[in-house]
Amino acid sequence: MAAIELTKENFQGTINDNAIVLIDFWAAWCGPCKSFGPIFEAAAEEHTDLVFSKVNTEQEMELAAQFQVRSIPMLAIFKEQVLVYAQPGALPASALTQLIEQVRALDMDKVRADIAEQQNSGAQENGQEGGG
């Protein structure tokens, strides 16, 4: 399955309706994006159970801003509606495959518990600073 074009209109539905979504932020003028594109597309063909999507940063500036895209290509990955990876840079095929396997193996109950713990400790720290 080829990568789908992600826009602000279909973004939330795509994230909510799929277990794992990979997002390639790119632009037509970007040389590294052009070299990463075929690697991303090949991975999409190989891993048909995942959703591979592309965001054209020139057309979808609001989405690019939401993800604070400063350098492209940038890869973001959601698993069960949680952003678990976001890094700029083109990856070789082997590294992308390894990353996909790591994301598949993530224990999302543990990830959510870690996020909740970080949020709770941050709230406590903020409360202590204000009460002292």
Q: Which residue type, as a one-letter code, is found at position 27?
A: A
Model confidence at 4, in pLDDT bands (50, 70, 90)? very high
DSSP 2: P
pLDDT tens sequence across 52-109? 999 999 999 999 999 999 999 999 999 999 999 999 999 999 999 999 999 999 999 9
Query: What size, in residues, is the chain?
Result: 132
As its CATH architecture, domain 4-106 has: 3-Layer(aba) Sandwich (3.40)
What is the pTM (predicted TM-score) of this model?
A: 0.89
Instruction: Name the helix (H) or strand (E) containing 20.
Output: strand 20-26
Query: Which of the residues are catalytic?
Result: 30, 33
> How do beta strands 20-26 and 74-79 pair?
antiparallel
Q: Which residues pair with 82 in a beta bridge?
A: 79
Q: Is the alpha carbon torsion for 91, 97, 98, 100 positive or negative?
A: positive
